[in-house]
Chain A
Amino acid sequence: MKRTDRIAQPWGTRTPYPAGGQWPVRVDTHLEDGLDPGEVDRWVQTASILHSNGDALDIAVKDGRIAGVRGRAVDRVNRGRLGPKDLYGWQANSSPDRLTVPLIREGGKLVETDWDTAMDRVAGRTRELLAEQGASAIGFYTTGQLFAEEYYTLGILAHGGLGTNHVDGNTRLCTATAAAALKESFACDGQPGSYTDVDHADVIALYGHNMAETQTVLWARILDRLAGPNPPAIICVDPRATPVARAATVHLAPRPGTNVALMNGLLHEIIANDWVDHGYIEAHTVGFEDLVQQVKDYPPETVATICDVPADRIREAARLIGGAERLLSTVLQGFYQSNQATAAAVQVNNINIVRGMLGKPGCGILQMNGQPTAQNTREAGGDGDLPAFRNWSNDAHVQDLARVWNVDPMSIPHMSPPTHVMQMMRYAEEGSIRMLWVNGTNPAVSLPELGRVRSILSQERLFLVVQDIFLSETAQLADVVLPAATWGEKTGTFTNVDRTVHLSEKAVEPPGQARADLDIFLDYARRMDLKDKDGQPLVKWHDAESAFEAWKECTRGRPCDYTGLSYAKLRGGSGIQWPCNEDNPDGTERLYVDGKFWSAPDYCESYGRDLVTGAPMQAPEYKALNPEGRAIIRAAEYVPPHELPSEDFPFQLTTGRTLYQFHTRTKTGRALQLQAAAPEVWVEMSAADAGTYALAEGDLAEVTTPRGKVRAQVRVSGIRDGVLFLPFHYGYWDTPAGHEPDGAGRAANELTITDWDAASKQPLFKTAAARIRKVSGGEGPSKAPTNTASAPVSPIGWSTHGSPGSEADEDFSVTGGEA
């Protein structure tokens, strides 16, 4: 047993292990001050809700309150470990400013009311709009933080009940490109790889993926491999000096927005040196010739000019990738939120495909998610896709879903792709969406170009419903606010990046009158009197477990088959990876073993889209391209970003996250240790740029783009020259103005451009042209964390650490369960 300051040491103590070995168990525990584990009343099983890794943990309950957490040694994902946000974030549940009563807007002000009044107002407005305009007037914008049961219920009531095509989740901002890239390459969503690939890989390439901060426990797994015998080589693509970059064998720091050129350069070298598996390509793929032709134009010298990366370093990275025997590739926001998002992420898939490195230990792709339940948003219909990876442009799939829901196929909108959130905002702007129901997310801080977003959300003619656990910036603009229960206060399941399904059980009662999101949706379905085609209630379940059983039936025979799972099976042991069914009763570690894909034309989820124009491919085209259901190699040309630096705006601005905060800080900003570790917005720039603009560590600077201004203290960091970085977490809920800037802004999205990837519809947060100027000298260094990507280039006199008494226990004596 060891006490560790997990703010100062986010990844905890090393437990080295060799290639092919089993990751040792380390059980992390943090309980409220003075509470002894022996005094805990109950331990209640769940998994983490503040990132996408899916770390399994137990909640400690004391006197009906959440009093701490402990990692689950038995679980395949984390083998007992927890990250800082897991260890400290739970405190937000009992924050005194939780929403506990429904609110409605009266005379311009939000006032307390009862559930009947609030829900009648929502249902009443829905009925009015259905009568006046139809379902096209109504949109739903959900999150990546509810449970599978809730998304499935939302999907059926919106798609099958009301018949609107306007359903999306904030997963559009974090994970839409992961899904789109998998649909392009494999014609279906579903993570090919497994976290256990880290145990076997000899080369791990992280593309735009600062895993050390976004998935701390998975990074701890890599650090443990690096500390053990025969460690893997690490390749990092990132414009910032992240902890991943510092651990990398090769670090490529391309100019923002040039990822496709870089990837084409790597593929050029892999193909030119014939580091490809011709047998695999011949037997299991289509499209290789197109790729060969496309990447001919991208020799390393050309790419070096576009990306501003030395040609030799591109060669060195390609040589490592090309010589790998077990290659694991991971991708995240540096690609997903950047120019040509899907095209770039697809080229990562192409590397593993042409090298034949799929479906074997250590040979995997992890197209990552940002949020804990993003995978479920995608599976269950919360992002507007049809549930269980059914193909909206395949009539047989729509009919099959209509059978499951017992509705007429015509009542399920499928004439065009589901409306993504940026398009919904546009429809609200021009007045054809007149009711927007936002749940569990905060578009007034997280969407690009906030001035525009606020002007849309605060329109008189838009009826805005917000369902949340705090009075967020968005909730402050609402007409009706519904107080929701959260993690630990309700039961359900959710699925992490590598398809591991966890059960999350209710540990404590929600505060005041707050209700589970599922119960709110069920109440709405009842009030709307939604019926199936036989006049029976459309939504036939009444609680989480019955919803899970209905969801299982919907997945039968589909790629994300849950039929072999049950609450009983998920209780007690490790999480289980789907597909889990009669054929795979213990789940499935890796997809696409032996080159078998889900891409047959009549089975696949998607026919793909044009990587540049985003136009969906039609069925006949797809059938001609891929009649036998192979992996699809899709090539793409580099297209420069739409907003490039100029004389007025000489920098490229990228936004991102820090280890200690999550999203718009609704929870992490209310957890003492996390908020203290990253209390205030900062702007990063390189030492050379700081010199040029006469800025120093801690100076107050103003960053300007054509959309707005943000003031932040300067952190001189290891970021590449010509690039500024702002964390996007900092909105206004804890400032006097409440939901908008009072004077200078501090939300990074005041500055971002309204532009998105045409294929995935993911907004771009990594390429805006900006300028910076000094406002005043600093009264000390910036408060940005010092042990993450924001590390200062020279000592500033202090380093990030936790407060005494808030250390966590690390127990190395527990023996784990299964591998």
Chain B
Amino acid sequence: MKIGLALEELHRAENDLAQELLQVSERHKADHEIYHLGRDLAGWSHRHIRQIAEIGRNYGLDLDPEPESESAWAERIREKGAELLGRRSHAALLLLRDLREIYMKAAGVSADWDLLGQAAQGIKHTDLLDVAQRCHPDTLRQMHWAHAKLKEEATQILIS
């Protein structure tokens, strides 16, 4: 059985997505919807990380329920920089790259939840299936958000 491996990978991927959301949020503080939503949606991944750590115990894993975090100091430096950078047009191009990255990472997490859900069904582990069914819709919403923002921003940024 390789469910443990899949859970470890998902734990890493959710952490990675949460970090990406927070970093993008901080980098684009002057784009207020990106700033606020990025933080809100990172919270969803944090919730998932706790649930993955909890269910992981059933599979002999010792995963950290707390999301990986950077120092608050680094965060503030980046935010301040973002406010100053916010007036330059190349920040806009960076935004497209960042949204694309969130979209790709969320798609990866989504695929991971699919894998786990399939496995849980196959082996009839209903607790694991519950977690997958509870969390996966959030991931799809994170992905749809990044996709929608990407489409919304692309025109103005690329033709202006």
Contact = CB atoms under 8 A, between A and B. Distances in A.
Interface of A: 133-134, 136-137, 165, 415-417, 419, 422-423, 426-427, 429-432, 610, 612-616, 639, 642, 754-756, 758
A430 B91 contact: yes
A430 B86 contact: yes
B88 interface: yes
Contacts of B151: 415-416
B41 A613 contact: yes
B155 A136 contact: yes
* Most chain B CB inside 10 Å of its own CB: which residue of A422, A427, A613: A613
Contact of A430 (B89, B147, B148, B159): B89
A416 B40 contact: no
B145 A610 contact: yes
Contacts of A134: 159-160
A754 B30 CA distance: 9
B47 to A, nearest CB: 11
B145 A416 contact: no
A756 B145 contact: no
B139 to A, nearest CB: 12
B33 interface: yes
A138 to B, nearest CB: 11
* Most chain A CB inside 10 Å of its own CB: which residue of B32, B87, B145, B152: B32
Contacts of B152: 416-417
Instruction: Sort A-B residue pairs by CB-CB distance and give the 6 closest, nearest first.
Output: A432-B160, A615-B148, A613-B145, A615-B144, A416-B152, A615-B145
Interface residues of B, number: 30
A137 B160 contact: yes
B101 interface: no
B160 A615 contact: no
A287 to B, nearest CB: 14
Nearest to A134: B159
Contacts of A432: 89, 92, 156-157, 160
B90 to A, nearest CB: 10
B33 A758 contact: yes
Given A416-B151, A756-B33, A429 B87 contact: yes
B32 A755 contact: yes
A430 B40 contact: no
Given A430-B92, A610-B145, A613-B37, 6 more contacts: A415-B155, A422-B33, A423-B33, A426-B32, A430-B88, A754-B32
B31 A426 contact: yes
Contacts of B40: 612, 639, 642
Contacts of B76: none
Contact of A136 (B30, B91, B147, B159): B159
A330 to B, nearest CB: 29
Contact of A758 (B37, B154, B155): B37
A426 B89 CA distance: 11
Nearest to B33: A758
Given A416-B151, A431-B87, A758-B37, A612 B141 contact: yes
A419 B88 CA distance: 20
Contacts of B149: 615
Contacts of B91: 430
Given A136-B159, A432-B160, A610 B87 contact: no
* Most chain A CB inside 10 Å of its own CB: which residue of B31, B41, B156: B156
A416 to B, nearest CB: 5
Nearest to B149: A615
Given A136-B159, A429-B30, A642 B36 contact: yes
Interface in B87-102: 87-89, 91-92
A134 B158 CA distance: 12
13 contacts: A133-B159, A415-B155, A416-B151, A416-B154, A426-B31, A430-B86, A430-B91, A612-B40, A613-B41, A613-B141, A642-B36, A756-B32, A758-B33
Nearest to A449: B32
A165 B144 CA distance: 22
B130 to A, nearest CB: 13
Nearest to A426: B31
A610 B144 contact: yes
Interface string B61-95: 00000000000000000000000001111011000
B73 to A, nearest CB: 19
A609 B88 CA distance: 30
A153 B119 CA distance: 59
A610 B137 CA distance: 12
Contacts of A419: 156
A427 B156 contact: yes
Nearest to A413: B155
B155 A422 contact: no
Contacts of A426: 30-32
Contacts of A612: 40, 141
A431 B160 CA distance: 9
A543 B84 CA distance: 48
B82 to A, nearest CB: 12
B22 to A, nearest CB: 14
Contacts of A423: 33
A583 B147 CA distance: 43
Nearest to B151: A416
A126 B149 CA distance: 28
Nearest to A415: B155
